[in-house]
């Protein structure tokens, strides 16, 4: 028995070393952790359980039979993150460049299936040269099987992709399906075709960073939701995210204890909206003043900054926050903001997370480029997402709420349960100046003192529409509240909606305007 135990220990040592000490040390000099070190840092101490660690590939193409390693370039298993069960795969770049072949994919599929069976989050740490060319169709089949499971698991369990090295070609589509993508600044890359192919086909020279780096994907494409300064910082953010979300779609929004009084009122809220309706203000500050412990976990922080989305807690319960940002484009909605908001709203609805919307929106961003990019269909995505959502939906209109954007931003008409308005709220088809120029165009042009008449008519319009009294009289607003009352009233409203239970008409699925 002692000999067998020694033999097993030796086997484990060989398994754990991956592609060898020299290659691991080289990773360290590059500021990177090995695949197992990432797992060790991520999970609670002594909770990780490895699965299928002794698998090897079975290909003999192009001399591949001479390059066999235990685990076949990926470490898989499960463990606890802050006592929450999580499944994981971590690709090992020291073994065949972390390339995906038949058995490598089989290991990933195994943990994906287990995560779906038990209802637990699935985290994938991607660090791979892509498809293992020597294995041909078996490599492509592995990717296809992974994409299928990503799709079937969508909306059932949270899926998180962590990009910690290259992720190219077909490999990018799995992260593209998952709920959240994390990247490491100046260390991870994602692209369908690399710089060399682009140069050969398009005669265009582009760097890895400009083509598919963290900055590019977090600011321009929107593929990346979070960017970490290094690997540990990135994994810390993944842990923080997991604390806000449930393990599956059959769990309710997580509740944690808080010492922050539910009836806390912040006097600063009364002063946050400027007297000048055209002056911007800090919507993020407004959010932090309202939520528990002044703590807000923003998603897509650097993408489509005219809309703010993220997680917070109210009365200890996780909520999803959607808010217009008056600091950027005056808070208008454009193509990127509509995509960002729609995706986030649908995630929250899929995982039973109530939605809180703070509204200050003068409309959709005008322009020929927006029309050509499809603002109609993309704006409709957000409308669709809010309408489809059955979780508790609370709305606070802080200032402007004009035109179609008023409807889109979680209005009563799209199923908002309770809508509050601050005294500064302005709800109308359009702003006073534009409305007067249309309604009284002839009167103003024919007047002896057109500017005097225009100013008088604008003032009359403001008195009639640039306040929340008229919509409140029609029942489109449930209450006009003092800004300081926002936190306690939202918490009370959430408590009142705990047993909300509505279902949309039975159907295979809707046809969201993609």
- Active-site positions read 169-170, 404-405
Q: 56 vs 9, 114, 322, 441, CA distance in Å?
A: 18, 21, 47, 78
294's tokens: 């002044």
DSSP letters spanning 222-248: ---SEEESSHHHHHHHHHHHHHHS-SS
C-alpha 50 chain-centroid distance = 29
Which are the contacts of 438, defined by CB distance < 8 A and separation ≥ 6?
none
Closest Cα to residue 237, out of 227, 247, 222? Answer: 227
Q: How far apart are CA 189 and CA 194, in angstroms?
A: 10
Q: How far apart are CA 96 and CA 71, in angstroms?
A: 11
Q: How far apart are CA 408 and CA 401, in angstroms?
A: 10
What DSSP element (H or E) covers 3? helix 2-16
Which are the contacts of 131, defined by CB distance < 8 A and separation ≥ 6?
99, 100, 139, 140, 143, 169, 170, 171
Q: How far apart are CA 307 and CA 338, in angstroms?
A: 8
- With contact defined as beta carbons under 8 Å apart, do 360 and 324 qualify? yes
- The string over 180-212, giving b where at least 16 C-beta atoms fall within 10 Å of a residue's C-beta and e elsewhere, is bbbbbbebbbbbeebbeeeeeeeeeeeebeebb
Q: 472 vs 341, 386, 409, 423, CA distance in Å?
A: 26, 21, 17, 11
Closest Cα to residue 406, out of 422, 425, 423, 390? Answer: 425
Q: How far apart are CA 182 and CA 160, in angstroms?
A: 8
Q: How far apart are CA 93 and CA 77, in angstroms?
A: 18
98's tokens: 């972390």
372's tokens: 């050509």
For every residue of 244-259, which 3-state class applies, written as one string? HCCCCCCCCCCECCCC
In sequence order, which ranges of 88-158 are alpha helices (DSSP H)? 102-118, 137-153
Which are the contacts of 197, defined by CB distance < 8 A and separation ≥ 6?
none
- The string over 236-248, giving b where at least 16 C-beta atoms fall within 10 Å of a residue's C-beta and e elsewhere, is ebbbebbebbbbb
């Amino acid at each position: 028995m002692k000999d067998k135990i020694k033999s097993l220990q030796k086997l484990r040592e060989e398994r754990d070393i991956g592609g060898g000490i020299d290659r691991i040390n080289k990773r360290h000099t590059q500021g990177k952790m090995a695949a197992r070190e990432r797992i060790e840092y991520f999970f609670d101490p002594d909770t990780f359980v490895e699965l299928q660690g002794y698998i090897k590939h079975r290909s003999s193409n192009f001399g591949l039979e001479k390059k066999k390693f235990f685990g076949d370039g990926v470490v898989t298993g499960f463990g606890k993150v802050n006592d929450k069960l999580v499944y994981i795969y971590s690709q090992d770049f020291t073994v065949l460049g972390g390339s995906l072949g038949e058995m490598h994919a089989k290991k990933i599929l195994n943990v994906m299936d287990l995560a779906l069976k038990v209802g637990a989050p699935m985290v994938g740490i991607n660090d791979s040269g892509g498809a293992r060319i020597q294995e041909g169709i078996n490599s492509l089949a592995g990717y296809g099987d992974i994409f299928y499971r990503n799709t079937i698991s969508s909306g059932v369990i949270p899926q998180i992709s962590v990009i910690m090295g290259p992720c190219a070609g077909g490999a990018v589509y799995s992260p593209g399906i998952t709920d959240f993508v994390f990247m490491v600044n100046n260390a991870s890359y994602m692209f369908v075709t690399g710089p060399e192919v682009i140069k050969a086909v398009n005669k265009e020279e582009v760097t890895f960073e400009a083509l598919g780096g963290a900055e590019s994907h977090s600011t321009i494409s929107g593929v990346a939701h979070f960017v970490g300064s290094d690997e540990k910082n990135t994994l810390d953010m993944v842990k923080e995210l997991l604390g806000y979300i449930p393990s599956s779609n059959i769990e309710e929004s997580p509740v944690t204890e808080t010492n922050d009084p539910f009836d806390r009122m912040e006097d600063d809220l009364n002063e946050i909206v400027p007297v000048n309706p055209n002056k911007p203000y800090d919507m993020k500050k407004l959010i932090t003043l309202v939520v528990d412990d002044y703590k807000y976990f923003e998603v897509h922080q650097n993408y489509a900054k005219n809309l703010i989305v993220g997680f917070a807690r109210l009365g200890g319960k996780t909520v999803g926050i959607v808010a217009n940002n008056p600091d950027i484009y005056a808070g208008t909605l454009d193509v990127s903001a509509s995509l960002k908001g729609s995706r986030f709203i649908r995630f929250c609805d899929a995982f039973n997370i109530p939605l809180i919307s703070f509204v200050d929106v003068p409309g959709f961003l005008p322009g020929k480029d927006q029309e050509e990019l499809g603002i109609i269909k993309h704006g409709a995505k957000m409308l669709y997402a809010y309408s489809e959502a059955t979780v508790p939906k609370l709305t606070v209109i802080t200032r402007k709420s004009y035109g179609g954007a008023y409807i889109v931003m979680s209005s009563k008409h799209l199923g908002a349960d309770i809508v509050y308005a601050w005294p500064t709220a302005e709800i109308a088809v359009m702003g006073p100046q534009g409305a007067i120029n249309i309604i009284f165009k002839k009167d103003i042009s024919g007047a002896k003192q057109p500017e005097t008449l225009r100013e008088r008519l604008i003032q009359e319009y403001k008195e009639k529409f640039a306040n929340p009294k008229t919509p409140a009289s029609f029942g489109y607003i449930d209450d006009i509240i003092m800004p300081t009352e926002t936190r306690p009233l939202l918490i009370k409203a959430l408590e009142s909606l705990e047993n909300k239970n509505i279902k949309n008409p039975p159907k295979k699925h809707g046809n969201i305007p993609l």
